[in-house]
A and B are shown apart, each in its own frame.
Chain A
């Protein structure tokens, strides 16, 4: 066998969770058993650890390439490896039924990958592989051929804006910082990704940590920072490990430390683990946390660019922002500015989740219409249900309804309908989602993550949540919608930091677009999406019930009675609408209305 065989196993957090490490071990074992490694003189068969390619829902994803011809398999488990090796690697007959389908290709082909470009292709634990794709060339170019001002100007011209949520022009922020006179400047990489369902930063660090480090070198050089921090969640152990590994190997190669690339520029990067507070993603709270204080936001001004960590000028950039920099420096500002929409340049990495066929990590050019993201890249709504809304920007964002499906996804577009880009979370909702319940879900999150410093956020979000809860439990009162809106606006307008300012967005946007659902809950005591159990009546269809008794056993208040093999009945006076019978019935005989 003279063909060069390469097997790539997805080993991101998603891949490992799906059994990637076992699949990989099995490949090593089976390839050895098949004598393939012995047969090759050169390194013919390589097993890569590759990072996330964005399609975690199909994990474990495996590429088998023979002579450069790549076949991609999905849902691979340990016990499937033997057949893959036997039939595909040895027998040169791909296992057709396990190959990915057309949707896998529409998912990838409609994306524009810059930040995610090398993810899933290179081994994140090898600096040589990163250098093999021109890694650290951009940093070298910046440090050896450009002045810091030229770097700032290039980033300004590129139109790059902060990817952490705020969307502030990166080059402009650097310019403010560099204009200070100080004995020390700091650069912080914000990897405290906390939005529920968001995993953009985690995937980038896990899949290509060197790109982030290279971005940090460029940013630090531009502002004159000799010390950098990566503030990363402790809940991302794999990302933390790979980051440490990457920092160590960069140091060994001389890309970090003293006199980088033969210049007089020094840079030391430290890693600081977050302790799991959502608010520490807010830059002033993040600074407080690095300083050893409780993660509580501070008033701005002064802005961190002028007075940040330890009172020194500090730039805080998000992981994705930094990972864009090597590409901008290599290919030029004009190239970057040519991608995207008028005011939002480049691409955005989005975590696409919810009731959608292709969930995963995607990268799209700014300005791509929502419709294309959901129906082309995302493959449409799961189970062919009706699209209802999409929640963007995580718990701080808003819900965008059907009527705005053609909206371009960029900073301005999302803001114009009361939502936001945020860090790039996108949760697709279908007709079976209750919008009151959705806004309650997000409020539960923001309320429990409020630091408690300022009154509107600490007590205001609590009262919002209580009103929402009573509406979903059928205790909603006349006037509750107006009260919600009044309070939501006041919390938005008077809170101290971004958490409180944006926490009411889900409430405001769902009332704006789905007021009728709120009214149905309050006036008719009905949940149109049949989600809020307290507003539902449960009953058993006699013609469907086979009398198995599962529902009766699941009922904690003994509201269900019936003889064996005879249709059962629910006593609605006793029923507490917990929904256990509905979940327990295997014959769809329990209905709710």
Chain B
């Protein structure tokens, strides 16, 4: 175990713990922008700098391993000045259009500007113009808002294992981009969108949808497959406007393209909202109640079973159902109907 002091508070941590993690355990806040504890430390934004006794210069707490007897200061005039300069520099190359930005209220840069009280910026100058309109409906890139924290690049590489984006160019023109500056063409899982600290990456279908107070948050489970990822639906009135996932969940906040962006069916006009029954061959589907529909199905099963035996019936379930649902389904087939003709796309 390692003992260290952070802002005059003692703490004991395991070997390999970073200074930032130790501070978090102590409840000492350190600003970050490029850090996410689900990814490897990067040390790019320089906001989490701290002063460590014996070290000539401030170091990033996200990358510095805690060592025994270390004495850390997270607050000082010098650190405040350096962090404030960094935020000012970022804002000097940012559209600052928070009023119409989809990420307003959830933007880390906005929060930092507020924390450091940056009303006036000492620095002004050229701003990048890297915006590019992609053709995909899922991910919108507004690269002029990119702070180059590298979270999107790292999540794509480290979590998704895809590596669809990387860095290009040097100096002020350095940017995150798909290969050769082409359109984004990937799995569109949207992990990058979920981790982007600003409005640089957002969901295409969220655009112009309500945000802020009018939005209700409902925790639920994704119904697309048996993984059962925890999701949070954001809805306004009757409409689901966005899907999120909390990083403290069992799926650590990661979702796939369907879970994250495939929610428009909920409010679709084409969606079935009641059972339909076709009462005779060639007839029309007619709306029915659940009671009516279940009675009809049960009646027909009994008929077929009486006439041709239970093995004339077979059941095929889905990997999209949960384990419990799949269990109940085979129970229905085996115990209820009396056949072993039961299967599903991932096999029982």
Please give, as numbers and ranges, the residues of chain A lying within 8 Å of B81 by CB-CB distance. 490
- B57 beta carbon closer than 8 Å to chain A: yes
In the docked arrangement, what's the CA distance between A406 and B273, Å? 90
Chain B residue numbers with a CB within 8 Å of A299 are: 41-43, 60, 63-64
Decide yes or no whether A463 CB sits under 8 A from chain B. yes
B167 lies within 8 A of chain A by Cβ: yes
Contact partner, B172, options A454, A459, A483, A494, Cβ 8 Å: A459
Determine the distance from Cα of A463 to Cα of B44 in the docked complex, in whole angstroms.
18
Chain A residues numbered 442-496 whose CB sits less than 8 Å from any CB in chain B: 447-456, 458-463, 466, 483, 486-487, 490, 493-496
A residues in contact with B237, CB < 8 Å: none
Which of A277, A450, A466 is within 8 Å of B125, CB to CB? A466
Q: How far is the CA of A494 from the CA of B78 in the complex (A)?
A: 10
Does B169 make an interface contact (CB < 8 A)?
Answer: yes
Is B226 an interface residue, CB under 8 A from the partner?
no
Among B60-98, those with CB < 8 Å from A are 60, 63-65, 78, 81-82, 85-86, 89-90, 92-93
On whether A454 and B43 interact (CB within 8 A), knowing A301-B65, A494-B85, the answer reads yes
Does A385 make an interface contact (CB < 8 A)?
no
Interface residues of B in 138-187 (CB under 8 A from A): 147-148, 150, 166-167, 169-175
In the bound complex, residues from chain B placing their C-beta under 8 Å from that of A453 are 44, 148, 150, 174
A450 touches B44 (CB 8 A): no
Residues of chain A from 252 to 307 with CB closer than 8 A to chain B in the complex: 277, 279, 294, 296, 298-299, 301
| Cross-chain contact B171 with A458 (CB below 8 angstroms) | yes
CB pair A456–B89 under 8 Å, yes or no, is yes
Q: Is the CB of A451 within 8 A of B123?
A: no
Contact A294 B166 (CB under 8 A): yes
* Interface status of B45 (Cβ within 8 A of chain A): yes
Contact partners of A298 in chain B: CB under 8 A: 43
Q: Give Cα A458–Cα B126 distance, bound, in whole angstroms.
A: 13
Min C-beta distance of B45 to chain A, whole Å: 6
Q: Which residues of B contact A459 (CB under 8 A)?
A: 89-90, 92-93, 123, 172
Give the one of B58, B63, B175 with max A CB within 10 A: B63
Q: Report whether A301 and B89 are in contact in the complex, using a CB–CB cutoff of 8 Å.
A: no
Does B44 contact A496, Cβ atoms closer than 8 Å? yes
B216 to chain A, nearest CB (A): 36
Is B46 interfacial (CB-CB < 8 Å)?
yes
Could you tell me the distance between the alpha carbons of A458 and B148 in the complex, rounded to whole angstroms? 10
When the two chains form their complex, are residues B82 and A462 in contact, meaning their CB atoms are under 8 A apart? no
A199 to B111, CA, bound (A): 48
B86 A462 Cβ-Cβ under 8 A: no
Residue from B58, B150, B166 in contact with A494 in the complex, judged by beta carbons closer than 8 Å:
B58
Interface residues of A in 111-126 (CB under 8 A from B): none
Between B85, B126, B167, the greatest number of chain A beta carbons within 10 A of the residue's beta carbon is seen for B85
Residues of A within 8 A of B43 (CB): 298-299, 454, 496
| Complex interface: chain A residues within 8 A of B78 (CB) | 493
Query: Could you tell me if A454 and B123 are in contact, using CB atoms closer than 8 angstroms?
Result: no
B49 in contact (CB, < 8 A): yes
Q: Are B64 and A301 in contact (CB under 8 A)?
A: yes
Q: Is the interface of A mostly helix, strand, loop or mixed?
A: helix
Residues of A within 8 A of B85 (CB): 456, 460, 486-487, 490, 494
Partner of A447, one of B45, B49, B147, B172: B172
Residue numbers in A under 8 Å from B119 (CB-CB): none
In the complex, per-residue mask of A293-330: 1 if CB is within 8 Å of any chain B CB, else 0: 01010110100000000000000000000000000000
Chain B neighbourhood of A296, CB < 8 A: 167
B347 at the interface (CB under 8 A from A): no
Task: Say how far B167's CB is from chain A's closest CB, in angstroms.
Answer: 5
Find out whether the CB atom of A490 lies under 8 angstroms from the CB atom of B148. no
CB-defined contacts of B41 to chain A, threshold 8 Å: 299
Whole-angstrom distance between the Cβ of A11 and the nearest chain B Cβ: 34
Q: B90–A455 contact, CB under 8 A?
A: yes
- Could you tell me if A455 and B125 are in contact, using CB atoms closer than 8 angstroms? no
Given A299-B63, A494-B58, are A452 and B169 neighbors across the interface (CB < 8 Å)?
A: yes
Closest Cβ neighbor of A453 among chain B residues: B44
Q: Is B89 a contact partner of A463 (Cβ separation < 8 A)?
A: yes
Residues of B within 8 A of A301 (CB): 63-65
| B:17-71 near A, CB below 8 Å | 41-46, 49, 57-58, 60, 63-65
In the bound complex, what is the Cα–Cα distance between A299 and B44 (angstroms)?
Answer: 9
User: Contact check: which of B58, B92, B174 meets A463 at CB < 8 Å?
Assistant: B92
- B271 at interface, CB cutoff 8 A: no
Give the interface centre of B45, B64, B89, B167 by most chain A CB atoms within 10 Å.
Answer: B89
Residues of A within 8 A of B45 (CB): 454-455
Provide the bound-state CA to CA distance between A490 and B88, in Å. Answer: 12
Q: Which residue of A lies closest to B43 (CB)?
A: A299
Given the known interface contacts A493-B82, A494-B82, the answer about A455 and B44 at a Cβ–Cβ threshold of 8 Å is yes
**Residue B307 CB within 8 A of the other chain:** no
Contact of A450 among B89, B123, B174 (CB under 8 A): B174
Chain B residues lying within 8 Å of A493, measured Cβ to Cβ, are: 57-58, 78, 82
Q: A452: which of B42, B63, B90, B167 is its contact (CB, 8 Å)?
A: B167
Verify A451–B170 contact, CB threshold 8 A. Answer: yes
Contact (A452, B166) CB under 8 Å given A460-B89, A463-B92, A494-B82 = no
Q: Are B123 and A452 in contact (CB under 8 A)?
A: no
User: CA–CA, A166 to B174, complex, Å?
Assistant: 27
Complex interface: chain B residues within 8 A of A277 (CB): 170
- Take A299-B60, A463-B92 as given contacts and tell me if A456 and B148 are in contact as well, using a CB distance cutoff of 8 Å: no
* Complex alpha-carbon distance, A460 and B90, angstroms: 9
A-B contact pairs, 19 of them (CB 8 A): A299-B41, A299-B42, A301-B63, A449-B171, A450-B171, A455-B46, A455-B86, A455-B89, A456-B85, A458-B148, A458-B171, A459-B93, A462-B126, A463-B123, A490-B82, A490-B86, A494-B49, A494-B82, A501-B57
Interface residues of A (CB under 8 A from B): 277, 279, 294, 296, 298-299, 301, 447-456, 458-463, 466, 483, 486-487, 490, 493-496, 501
4 closest cross-chain pairs (CB), A and B: A452-B174, A299-B63, A299-B43, A459-B89
Chain B residues within 8 Å of A, Cβ to Cβ: 41-46, 49, 57-58, 60, 63-65, 78, 81-82, 85-86, 89-90, 92-93, 122-123, 125-126, 147-148, 150, 166-167, 169-175
